[in-house]
Amino acid sequence: MICIKTQYFNLNRILLLAIGLWPYHQSKFVRFQAFLFFSILTSFIIFQLTAFITTKCTPEFIIKVLSNIMVSTAYIIQYNSFWMNTHNLKCLLEQLQNVCNELKDKNEVAIFEEYGNISKYLTTISFAMCGAFNALFLPIWPQILGSDLHINVSQSRQTMQIVTEYFIDQEKYFYFILLHKNVVICIGATTLTGTGTMFIGYFIYICGVFRIASYRIERAMTTKIRENINIENQTMIYKDIIDAIEIHRKAIKFTDFISSTFSGSVSLLIIIGVVSLSLNIFGIFRNASLGDKESFLLNFLFVLVILICMFVGNYAGQEITNHNNHVYFAAYNSRWYIAPLHAQKLIFFILLRGGKSVNVNIGGLIVASLECFTNLTKTSMSYFTVMSSMQE
């Protein structure tokens, strides 16, 4: 029997356990861990906002601070959405396990394993990218390189491009401030990777469930139709089509459940993502003209991460729609017209449902798709153009 938690979600489990968000075994210590990490992420935004009190607020300074604050806010929203929906995530994982336990034959198991392996590979790649991101982004590296290469300490400290104000002696408590920033970056990157890959894993499994529904329809309308349609074969056709309708209904239910559960948080993330993308693109061109390589690299990394997250999320939503359409096409292209009358009536239910697209609907306004990704990118570029024209 397949255990999806250990076979395909094991790396997700490790990442979420590290930040206290794994939906199982929620002890008092884990709840305290989650509260502590959430407080650390929140405090970092506060210390960035306090920079406006002690520094002259020029347009360049405001854009620089806001571009960093937007990314930190996205971390908090993502963390909080998982923290508040621990029970729902656990229920969804158990329902997917129940679907796996009810698979009918080895071909269905093979389909489920294929999509499970895709989820595991994507999680592994994301984990590697998270490690590379931390290696490039952590502000501890200038200190290490500075000590090894005998670089002036004050010069090394100026390479930290995230502006904060702690209202303490920056030189005296420098390493405590550095520790705070490093911890925030590690928690944020782990949150983004762990929760993001968990979302994508759910979507991949839902695609697998849709694919199994297509397989059941194809099997019912090909194998059995070729044989003599006697009473026994008619009963098997009815049963296979009913099973296909049932698992198709479960896939739709899973999709609607995720959409409704995370609609609010994803809507906020989209707004923050669009604004942050505009600010960081503006920062790239601004810092390139000024020759500020460190700030340029920071903005470039933020833009890269935001675009990857936007694309992956919308691509997953597009795949949900495509796999649902495949169920409709499998029913439409089958030899339903020579099937028994009662089987034709069952197929009609699938065709009728296929007229309504299944998609990841966010707040009733946005549908996750490649078209949505294009529109969000265009919107960000429009905001960037406005900021550039105002700057000139």
Per run of 10 residues, the mean pLDDT along the chain (length 392 residues) is 81 90 87 93 91 83 85 90 89 89 87 90 85 64 44 42 80 84 87 90 92 86 60 74 86 89 89 92 87 81 89 92 87 70 72 74 84 93 87 65
Structure confidence at residue 137 (pLDDT): 61
Q: Give the pLDDT of residue 153.
A: 43
Residue 299 has, within 13 A of its CA and on its CB side, a CA count of 23
Please report the beta strands in the chain, taking only residues with DSSP state E, as ranges in sequence order.
361-362, 366-367
First to last CA, the chain: 64
Q: Which structural domain, as residue segments, surrounds residue 32? A: 4-391
Neighbours of 221 (CB within 10 A): 24
Domain count of the fold of the chain: 1
Give exposure, 332-355, as e/b (b: 16+ Cβ within 10 Å). eebebeebbeebeebbeebeebbe
Distance between CA atoms of 132 and 134, rounded to whole angstroms? 5
d(CA 190, CA 59): 32
DSSP code string of 175-187: HHHHHHHHHHHHH
Which residues fall within 8 angstroms of residue 96, CB to CB, at 6 or more apart? Answer: 4, 202, 205, 209, 254
